[in-house]
Every structure is written in structure tokens, then in C-alpha cells.
Structure 1
Amino acid sequence: MTPDIQPLAAPFAKGHGCQNSFLVLPDPHSRLRLTAADVRRLTDPHAGAGADGILRAVHCTHTPEATAMAADAEWFMDYRNADGSPGQMCGNGIRVLARYLVDTGLCPPGPLPIATRAGLRHTHVPTRRHDFHGPVTVAMGTPYFPGPDRIIVTTAGRSWRATHVDMGNPHAVVFTENLTDAGDLRTAPAVDPADAYPHGVTTEFVTALGPRHLALRVYERGVGETRACGTGACAAVAAHRRRTGQTGAAEYRVDLPGGRLAISAAADSTMALTGPAVITVQGTLRLPRSEAAAAAARACEAAEFSSEPPILGSPARAGTPTGTEGGGREAHLHGIDEAGFEVASGRHHDERGDATDCPPHLPAASGLASGRLGRLG
């Protein structure tokens, strides 16, 4: 590597909600220019940091996508799927981002509005506990059933009727007697008519364990089968209520391979999603060489960040990700691959969050890439 072209060292964190994992990139002034190829490299479970997606945290005033929401929210969630495509909304991702913003001292605990491509979403992060655990809640809005009424989903040699549910992003919800009926979900299920989802679809396979208790597996658009999906859990509850004629306020449990999520449905059909959100790793990413030349100039201007990664737990300093008071073991995570990025000098926290064990009635999901489920190091 020539000395005059150095990679951009960017602070990052890795976290999960029910083992649905994300890389958080704090970028208040929107200086990072991540291409789809960059996202794919960073989320790769073998050659990158490994994650189901990327959450870039940007001040609403610094991105055209969120300026209209700047009066109501400070932060915008730029969510990217693992394949590099942008996502409108991510229920687990927004809860992980809220946890990160609070734990780093960038925002106080309590109510925290965050802008998304699906509009404004209100989260609530409880007062920090010593172990940084605790559920985070997000108001998910009202499910929408755009039709058509007859959608067919096919996978593993079988076909089912599905319900089209919009939770700010598109879902096809299938009810089946056994979650293993969906096969290994290594490839995306086929959907007919295809034009019902011109930008792709996330598909849920759902089994009702009781009137207010569901289990599901999910194939996420732009990712593959994941351990959990927050919008998918809400879509499943919405389709279940419609299918069974349930009305009025109710609480639901949704079991996924990565743990359990709680869904509160109000009498007006609005939903709130609650579950664990845990930051597990912090460190520094060095972006690919293809980005380095352009990023070098931006890095010189990035006075809001020091060269050290943001660490959890210290009192906030205005505009600066800040340090930690302990509660984690040092894990120096080094390694540059041929793409030219590095994960280095991170702090690895051991906490796993609440309710992350796989319930016994859920099958092992053989289609999952094993590297996506682990942590760095």
C-alpha cells in the first residue's frame, strides 16, 4: 500500500436483536460513501466483519432523505441489506441503533425518535443497566394490506397462498403446519405474481402455537434466511389477526431461531415491537482501497471523531462518540484481506441479551451462513 493513499479508519460497532446482526457506522455529517460492493465486503461473514446489514447513523440535516424529518428527529437510519441494497425499515436494526445511540451517550435514554426511509419511528430505550442489556421498543405503525389477495409462494417443491403485508417494507406471509416445510431456505422462495413485489420481498413461514403465540422462519430480501426479523414478526402477527378475525388490543409472542420478540397490537391496529438489543463489539473499520483516495480528504475533515473507536458507557461529550467504563474484555481484532479493509482494536463484550436461545419447537435453519451468527474474534 502506498503511503500517500491510506484507508479511512471509521469507528463502528456490531450488535444484534435476537441474533439478527448489524454493523453500526456513526457518520453524523454523511461523509462515508459506501457502495453496494463495499457493503457486501463488510457484511461478508468470512472476508469481512460479518452481519445481516449495515446501519449508518446520519444527522437528518445532512442527508436529503431525512431533511423533512429533521424537526422531529436528530438521527436518520440509513439501512443497507447485506447485498448492498437500501432498505426502508428494519425493526431489529432500529432497536440496535437506538441502543447504540444511548449507550455511547449520543442520546439520552427514554423516548428516541429516529428517521427511516419508511418515515419517522419512535423508539424507547430504558435507563442503562450495568450489563447494557434490556429490551428496546419501537412503535412500528399500522400494517397495510395492499393486495393482491391471491399470492402464491413456492419453495422446497411446495406452494402456499400468502398474505401481502406492508410494514414500511414488503412481506409475503405464509401459514404452514410445520416450519420445516419451507426446506433449507438457501435460495429465495418464488412469488407469483412477481409484479406484486417489484423491488423484492421478505417471506415469512409461520406456525400458530396458540391464539397469541406464533413461531416463524424468515427469508429476508437482500440477505437470505436470518435468525430474526422485526418487521417480519409484526407482519406475521398482522396476517394472523386478519386470518383469525382478532380485533382489539392484544399482546403476542413470536418465537424465531434467534429468540423471542413481543408484539403489542393496539385497538387501532398500530403495533409496537419489543425485544433484546445488544452491542457486542466495537472497533475500527478500514474501508476498501477503492474508497481510500476519495475518503482520505474527508477523513481529514472528520474532526468529530478521534482515531480511537467509540466506546460504551462514559458520559456524553457533545458531538463525540465516547468511551467505556468497563464491562468488556479487550479483543484486538486484526486482519486485512485482499479487498483492503481491516477490523482492529475493538472491545468485545460478552453479553448476549435476553431470550436469545432457540426455542425447542424451532428447527435448526441449515440455510444460514454460520459465519453470520458468530462474533468477531
Structure 2
Amino acid sequence: MGIDLQFTKGHGTGNDFVLVADPDGRLDLSPEQIRGICDRQFGVGADGIIRAVRSANLDAGAAALAEDDTAEWFMDYWNADGTVSEMCGNGIRVYTRFLLDQGLAELGAGETLPIGTRSGVRDVQRNATGYQVDLGRWRLEPGETLVRAKNLAVARPGLGINVGNPHVVIALADEDELTEVDLTFIPQLDPDPAGGANVEFVLPHDPLVVDGVGRIRMRVHERGSGETLSCGTGAVAAALATRHWAGAGAPNQWRVEVPGGVLGVRMFPTEDGEHVSLSGPAELVFTGTLKLA
């Protein structure tokens, strides 16, 4: 017997998601169903599915509540291929907008909404561009990863950065390389990280810094979803990598242009080390009902 799935379609700079409200944690979507929903020809079409579930009603939510007992809501995120993802920077902003739209949470000016994820609790606030999320501490991975991609003439060294999920960032030489790299093919990583990684292809602007803000362009191949119009955590990783390459004096505020729009990245000190935040729009596009077998 089929079920009628009530859903909302949303996006953050073109990174699109199907969102469903399941506060009690009763919905059990299979990887096959997730792939079907995300299929752009035969389903709704999305880069992933986000389930809104109370942390107390999900096994993975126990760690979030242990970290912050006010993290009522958990972002249960699945890639388009049916695999689980630890975090999604665009997704958590759209998820916050969804919670507010559904009347499941409130977020006033100057207030913070803690959201549970598989990478820990992340704090979201409103800002002038939409929403800002504190992604917490980040980590520079040891060693070097060689990246090969279709139409990229020479393999490039990549910088491994973890911002709650894994990324490998490479710098490109010019506009032609950014345009011509074919991300319908999965980039090959050597060594290949356990569980894979998102791969960002970055082109710095010239000049790199204007009015104290760093400026880069980026395309991304997301693990489990393919090329997307935007990747929030990827934009953060790209900005961190570019600051690392630029060296002393590089700014802590960045403007990252992706095919779907513009995202803001900011690095700032805290008591437990440097944190990094992501800001940008979050849009809800339409609602609907999908019959699942």
C-alpha cells in the first residue's frame, strides 16, 4: 500500500532539496525511494532529501542532545544517490527556513537556533542575505591528494579540508579551465579518501582582495550528487584553501561565486579555536504530494 508524502522543494543558491516534516521519526525512506524522489526526470528532482525530525526521536539525535539539550530539531540529510551525508551548508539554511515556514521553530532577530546534524550541533541566525550558520571548527587534512578530472589536461594537487564533511580543493589557472572541466564524470582522487570527498575547482579573482574581502569562483562535484549549482560547505572549504595558499595577510572574509549565486564565508576566533561561518539565501519554491509505492 502506498503512502502520500507531503513535501516542500527548496534551494540555497541553486543547491536544491526535497524537505519533509517527520517530527516523530516515523517515516523510513529507503535508499531506492530517495534516489527515485531525487531523480530529475522521473521524480521531483533534487540534490538531496532533508527530513525534519526531533532529535529525541532519532538515534543519531542523541549525540546532538548530549552536546546541546536545546537542539530540538535534527537535520536528517541524504544525498541524491541514497547515501547519508554528515552536513550540508546550503541545506541547513534551507532546513531552517522550512522549520520556520512550517511553524515548527521560531527565530527572531539576534536569536540563534541550534540544529542537530551528524557533524554536531550547528547554530543558525538570520542575517542580511538570508541565514548564517556557524559551521564550527575546521581541519586541514595531512598530506596531498592528486586530482584528475575530465578535460583538465594535467592532474593537480588538492588540499584536504574537513568542515564537518570531507573536501578536496584544487586551484585552476584560468577561466578556460574552470569552464571546460567536465564534472559529469567523477573526479579521480589519489589517494582516494575513505568514504570519498567533495571536490572543489577554484579560480581566484584578479585582484584577489577588494576592500578587505577575498573573491573566488568555484565549481563543485559533490559526493553522492554529482555537479551541483552550489555547495555551502564546499564554498567554505574553497575559501579556507585559498586563504591558506595566499599566506600571511590573507583576509578572513570571502565572497564565493558559484553557478547558482553568491555565498559569504567568514573565519573568526572563539574560545575553542577558529570557527568558520557560511551565509546566503534560502528559498522555498513549492509544495506538493508524492505517492510512494
Q: Of 238, 241, 245, which residue of structure 2 is paired with 1:239?
A: 241
Alignment of 1:1-377 (within 5 A): 5=1, 7-70=2-65, 71-110=69-108, 111-125=112-126, 135-148=130-143, 150-155=144-149, 156=151, 157-181=153-177, 183-194=181-192, 197-209=193-205, 210-211=208-209, 212-246=214-248, 250-267=252-269, 268-287=273-292, 289=293
SS at match of 1:240: helix
| Percent identity of equivalent pairs | 38
- Bigger strand fraction: 2
Partner deviation per Cα, 1:2-56 (whole Å, 9 max, x = no partner): xxx3x21122101000010000011111111111111100000010000000001
Q: Distance in 1 between matches of 2:22 and 2:129?
A: 25
Q: Which moved more, 1:21-30 or 1:175-184?
A: 175-184
Report if the CA contact (8 A) 2:141-2:159 is conserved.
no
Question: Counterpart of 1:279 in structure 2: which amino acid?
Answer: L
Q: State the shift of 1:178 in Å.
A: 2.4
Q: Distance in 1 between matches of 2:254 and 2:291?
A: 42
Question: Counterpart of 2:260 in structure 1: which amino acid?
Answer: G
Q: Distance in 2 between matches of 1:170 and 1:28?
A: 29
Report if the CA contact (8 A) 1:99-1:125 is conserved.
no
Q: Distance in 2 between matches of 1:180 and 1:80?
A: 33
Report if the CA contact (8 A) 2:243-2:251 is conserved.
no
Which runs of 5 or more residues in structure 2 are unaligned? none
SS at match of 2:239: helix
Q: State the shift of 1:225 in Å.
A: 0.5
Partner deviation per Cα, 1:228-256 (whole Å, 9 max, x = no partner): 00000000111111111246873210000
* Higher radius of gyration, 1 or 2: 1
Q: Distance in 2 between matches of 1:22 and 1:175?
A: 28
Question: Counterpart of 1:115 in structure 2: which amino acid?
Answer: G
Count of residues in Structure 1 that have an aligned counterpart in Structure 2: 274
Q: State the shift of 1:134 in Å.
A: 5.1
Report if the CA contact (8 A) 1:248-1:266 is conserved.
no
In structure 2, do the counterparts of structure 1 residues 214 and 236 end up closer, same or farther at CA, with 3 Å as the change threshold? Answer: same
In structure 2, do the counterparts of structure 1 residues 18 and 246 end up closer, same or farther at CA, with 3 Å as the change threshold? Answer: farther
SS at match of 2:220: strand
Q: State the shift of 1:147 in Å.
A: 1.7
Q: Distance in 2 between matches of 1:74 and 1:107?
A: 9
Which runs of 5 or more residues in structure 1 are unaligned? 127-132, 290-377
SS at match of 1:185: coil
Question: Counterpart of 2:36 in structure 1: which amino acid?
Answer: R
Q: Let me know the Cα RMSD of the aligned residues.
A: 1.6
SS at match of 1:92: helix
Question: Counterpart of 1:122 in structure 2: which amino acid?
Answer: D
